[in-house]
Structure 1
Amino acid sequence: MGPQRGMPSVERVAACRRRLAQDGPQWTRGPADDAERVSVPARDGDALRDLLIAEGAGSVVEIGLAYGSSALAIGEALVSGGVPGPAHVIVDPYQGTVWADVGWRLLRSAGLDAFAMLLREPSSQALPRLVAAGRTADAAFVDGSHRFHEVFVDLYFLRTIVRPGGVVVLDDHRWPAVATAARYYETNLGWRVVPDALAGGTVDAAGRPRMRALRLPDPPVEPAFDAFRPFG
């Protein structure tokens, strides 16, 4: 299936991803290795892309844009999947300040602004607005704040936005604050690790993968108020 009218081709998006991986971004906020430290590596982007295609995802919410590496991978998946009317909502309050719009300009150069929307506000404000508007998504990618309470709040709203049976992928899951926030939803709300998802992604010296994919239950789980299970 060819690209929809006004949509970028898979080749165009993939070429932008390759250039970013090979040459780095056109601008960085400081040290020469900042993009390498901050960005999702190309092999993890490939794993994310392949998971979204396998899921048949046509709509994705992404928390955190920065240099745009994960957003390009998500965009490639949405263009490749052939789902009519794809949608990509990106939340990044710092894109125009800390990141000087470098990630958003890159997405525009790939033509992904045909269906991508950037919300320049904190996720704690943007996500409840999406809920109030009745916005839904097939999947989400979380790579914003790595503070426990902020990751927890992101997941709280995403459990309403992401459809039952959809997936939420967390970057830097090996960070204790990120893993602990996710563990509440696994322990108390029925979220489950997606077996064999993100194969080929990077792992650290201890063998822990960088990213983790969790599937939301279908139907959703709403436990009784006295059914709390410790998760720390």
Structure 2
Amino acid sequence: MGAVEHRGQIAEVRRRLVRNGPSWTRPHERDFETVALPEVDCDLLRDLLIAEGVATVVEVGLAYGSSALAIGEALVAVDRPEPRHVIIDAYQESAWSNVGWELMRSVGLDRNARLLTVQSSLVLPQLLAEGLVADAAFVDGSHRFHEVFVDLYFLRKIVRPGGLVVLDDDWTPSVRTAARYYERNLGWTALPDAFDGGTLRHIGDDPTAGSVPRCRAYRLPDALVEPPFEAFQPF
């Protein structure tokens, strides 16, 4: 199967997922619509990764698979010789009944994808020790501040200098605060236009607060440099 045909199959599965929903959902009202990355944001994520020419992507959080399919489509479109998609979701089987992974398998994306059902705080340092180097990462795992902070700590060493880290749910105070440390202290540069036209959310779900794009992309510095502790900037 050629890359064009394969990409078409993935796109069709993505459309069906949006139209019909997944084959299984958790017993919470509108759980898929609440949890899954919306189609417009998936398209913007896909297009951003294609523009970057990515070959290796790390994803934290699989759930229903909408973002993973978009990342898989991007890797097929770029068509590098050995694409790699490393997906981390400790609860894919126990909480999500493997529904996201089965969608990946249904279009053959499991051939170049690796699912790690271990907590990201435990497996990211292992990937770093293995020497994994990624072009980009997409983070949609735990939204607890300390766990987001740890994910980003290891991803800044796994994603190559100049690569991308994309965060979902940047409207949540915990995610925004964790990312702000890396922006203020480690030279991460926000790409403010990357998700123009995407989903907007009120910060903290407070209707009186400003609206921001659901996703936020950061460009890492051209070199991995550890700043002196005296240069710390409050965040």
**TM-score, L = length of structure 2:** 0.94
User: 2: distance between equivalents of 1:2 and 1:82?
Assistant: 10
User: 2: distance between equivalents of 1:227 and 1:67?
Assistant: 41
Equivalent of residue 63 in structure 1, options 57, 60, 63: 60
1:113 and 2:113 matched: no
User: 2: distance between equivalents of 1:199 and 1:10?
Assistant: 24
What amino acid is aligned across from residue 176 of structure 2 in structure 1?
A
The question of whether the paired residues in 2 share the 8 Å contact of 1:190 and 1:221 is answered with no
User: 2: distance between equivalents of 1:98 and 1:141?
Assistant: 20
Q: 1:3, CA displacement in angstroms? A: 2.5
In structure 2, the partner of 1:150 is 147
Over residues 11-65 of structure 1, what are the superposed CA-to-partner deviations in whole Å (9 max), with x where a residue is unaligned? 1111110110100000001124100000000000000000000111111000000
User: 2: distance between equivalents of 1:35 and 1:49?
Assistant: 20
What amino acid is aligned across from residue 153 of structure 1 in structure 2?
V
Q: 1:220, CA displacement in angstroms? A: 2.0
User: 1: distance between equivalents of 2:44 and 2:31?
Assistant: 22
In structure 1, the partner of 2:220 is 216
Q: Secondary structure at the match of 2:122?
A: helix
The question of whether the paired residues in 2 share the 8 Å contact of 1:124 and 1:154 is answered with yes
User: 1: distance between equivalents of 2:190 and 2:221?
Assistant: 11
Q: CA RMSD in A?
A: 1.4
The question of whether the paired residues in 2 share the 8 Å contact of 1:60 and 1:138 is answered with yes
Q: 1:226, CA displacement in angstroms? A: 1.6
Q: 1:82, CA displacement in angstroms? A: 1.7
Query: Which consecutive unaligned segments of at least 5 residues does structure 1 have?
Result: none
1:82 and 2:82 matched: no
Q: 1:157, CA displacement in angstroms? A: 0.2
What amino acid is aligned across from residue 213 of structure 1 in structure 2?
A
Q: Which runs of 4+ in 1 moved over 3 A?
A: none
1:174 and 2:171 matched: yes
In structure 2, the partner of 1:3 is 3
Query: Which consecutive unaligned segments of at least 5 residues does structure 2 have?
Result: 203-209
Equivalent of residue 92 in structure 1, options 89, 93, 98: 89
The percent identity for this pair of structures is 63
What amino acid is aligned across from residue 132 of structure 2 in structure 1?
R
The question of whether the paired residues in 1 share the 8 Å contact of 2:157 and 2:224 is answered with no
Q: Secondary structure at the match of 1:204?
A: strand
1:72 and 2:85 matched: no
What amino acid is aligned across from residue 110 of structure 1 in structure 2?
V
The question of whether the paired residues in 2 share the 8 Å contact of 1:169 and 1:214 is answered with yes
User: 1: distance between equivalents of 2:225 and 2:182?
Assistant: 10
In structure 1, the partner of 2:187 is 190
Across the two proteins, how many residue pairs are aligned to each other?
A: 228
1:226 and 2:234 matched: no
User: 1: distance between equivalents of 2:85 and 2:196?
Assistant: 23
